[in-house]
Amino acid sequence: MVIKNSTDLEKMRIAGRLASEVLDFIAVHVKPGVTTGELDRLCHDYITEVQKAVPAPLNYAPSGYKPFPKSICTSVNHQVCHGIPGDRVLRNGDIVNLDITVIKDGYHGDTSRMFVVGEGSVQARRLCEITFECMWLGIQAVKPGAHLGDIGHAIQRHAESNGFSVVREFCGHGIGTKFHEEPQVLHYGRPGTLEELSAGMIFTIEPMINAGRREIRELADGWTIVTKDHSLSAQWEHTVLVTEGGFEVLTQSAGTPAAPGLQH
Ligand code: MF3
Ligand code: CO
Ligand code: CO
């Protein structure tokens, strides 16, 4: 959406903060032995009972999809995105993306982080860290007059120069009173191409980066996306506002990991 007034913006800031606070809350529960279904239940109860907000994924049904059956997405190891919480037990060394979208007062906040369960391998930790940097390089390309292609290019360049690949089939998205809307924010591309950014636009940046090849496939559950070659995949997501001076990250809370110190 494009912000029209300060009331709109204040409500988007609140929704963004709440989504991020769900991740702060759940972080201590992500440890060996917990199931993804337990993480979902804890988040669902926190969102509905403490935050008095609505978990946007629950029963979300874009055209061509059956309703998503849970309140958060949990994507483990070679699962790229849209993993459905269930009986799966997290083990030492797993990596898991928790993707939270809340609706508060009609406005959406959408954010995700990677968690390493116990001690992860060097390769798994590196994939999570490079993907975090990819998200931030995309965010730092945001300012009025820049183009969507600048964001995609910054992400693709960093992923591929580290030997990883960018998933093409899913992208960031405009967000506001709707969960997913225009524009599409591709995580690959060429500088100076696609739509020009202007102050007031709000969209997510949520790169999915694979340790192996970029190809994906969908599981028979109709939602879960996995890497075709079963290589590990990571994702981070923030909801971002274009400001006169550059950008403002709306999905921020006390536990939000600080932006990386990137040397470029
Ligand atoms: N939160 C995801 C995104 O970043 C969308 C999840 S749709 C769901 O866009 F139905 F799977 F929850
Ligand atoms: Co999103
Ligand atoms: Co999301």
- Please indicate, yes or no, if residue 262 is contained in any of the structural domains: no
Q: 264 lies in a domain?
A: no
Record the tokens describing residue 177, joined without a space.
Answer: 């009173």
Residue-number span of the structural domain to which 110 is assigned: 6-249
Residue 257 inside a domain? The answer is no
Mutate to test the pocket of ligand 1, among 73, 75, 178, 218 (most ligand atoms within 8 A of CB): 73
Total number of domains in the chain: 1
For residue 209, what pLDDT is reported? 99
Q: What single letter denotes the amino acid at residue 77?
A: N
Mean pLDDT, the chain, rounded, equals 97
3-state secondary structure 98-109: EEEEEEECCEEE
Specify the pLDDT at position 155. Answer: 99
| pLDDT band at 263; cut points 50, 70, 90 | low
Contact 199, 144 (CB under 8 A): yes
Query: Does residue 91 lie within any of the structural domains?
Result: yes
Is 1 part of a structural domain of the chain?
no
DSSP, residue by residue, 114-134: EEE-SSPPHHHHHHHHHHHHH
- Give the rounded distance of the alpha carbon of 28 from its chain centre: 19
**Structure tokens that stand for 65 in this block:** 């999809």
Best residue among 43, 179, 251 to mutate for probing ligand 1's pocket (most ligand atoms within 8 Å of CB) is: 179
CATH code assigned at 70: 3.90.230.10
Q: How far is CA 242 from the centre of its chain?
A: 18
163 within some domain: yes
Predicted TM-score of the model (pTM):
0.98
For residue range 94-134, list pLDDT tens digits in order: 999 999 999 999 999 999 999 999 999 999 999 999 999 99
Ligand 1 mean position to 100 CA, how many Å? 8
Separation between Cα atoms, residue 145 and residue 198, nearest integer Å: 6
Which ligand has its closest atom nearest to the C-alpha of 113?
A: 3
Q: First-to-last CA distance in the chain?
A: 31
Q: Is residue 195 part of a domain?
A: yes
**Do the beta carbons of residue 74 and residue 97 sit within 8 Å?**
yes
Instruction: State what percent of residues in the chain have pLDDT above 70.
Output: 99
- Nearest residue CA, atom 10 of ligand 1? 57
Residues 74-88: tens digit of each pLDDT: 999 999 999 999 999
Strands 95-104 vs 107-116: parallel, antiparallel or unpaired:
antiparallel
